[in-house]
Amino acid sequence: MKSEVQPKQQMQAKLKPGSVLSAIEDIQRMSPEDIVQEFDRMADQTRRHFRDETFIPCVNVADELIRCLRHNKEQSCMCFNVMDEYRQCVGLATQAYVDRMAEDDERRRRASEELPVMPPQSVPSPPATMANLKPAGVQEIVRRKQRSWVKPWTWLR
């Protein structure tokens, strides 16, 4: 009978080394302590790739502006001086961020200058085949077929 269940050894041979099923089997064979250790290792490795960008500029001025606007619901003009202060704070924070980005870009540019730059190379044109070469009469017939009296924008082609 060919419909018999294959032994487990033969089924494992069919799994590819980088497949999800082989990874699941590897995890199932690990002890709980090994799983925790592997998770911690992966978390540390992932943490290194991300930067902490938790700094939010102008929080104190924004809080003051919100308090002022809540206090003066009917007369928001009473908060114009706080609004102006907030606008200036945001402008300075934005400029500082742009300056930091420019410095980072400058560092990246200097690092990329150290890499060798290859000049662009032209791509060879495809060889002339019979399919590419059409007689002039055939091209004119194709153009006429593309024109339509119903569509005046096709008349000028």
Q: Taking each helix axis from N to C terminus, what angle separates 59-71 and 80-113, rounded to the nearest 10 degrees?
A: 160
Question: Is the overall model pTM greater than 0.95, yes or no?
Answer: no
d(Cα 98, Cα 51) in Å, to the nearest integer? 17
CA distance 157 to 152: 10
Tokens of 26: 């590897």
**Separation between Cα atoms, residue 92 and residue 58, nearest integer Å:** 10
Query: Within 13 Å, how many C-alpha atoms sit on residue 137's CB side?
Result: 0
* 22 C-beta neighbours (distance < 10 Å), count: 13
Sorted by where each begins, the domain ranges of the chain are: 15-49, 59-112
Walk along the chain (157 residues) and give the pLDDT tens digit of each residue.
455 555 555 555 566 666 777 888 888 888 889 888 988 888 888 877 776 666 778 899 999 999 999 999 899 899 999 999 999 999 999 999 899 888 888 888 777 777 677 788 888 876 666 555 555 555 565 566 666 767 777 776 5
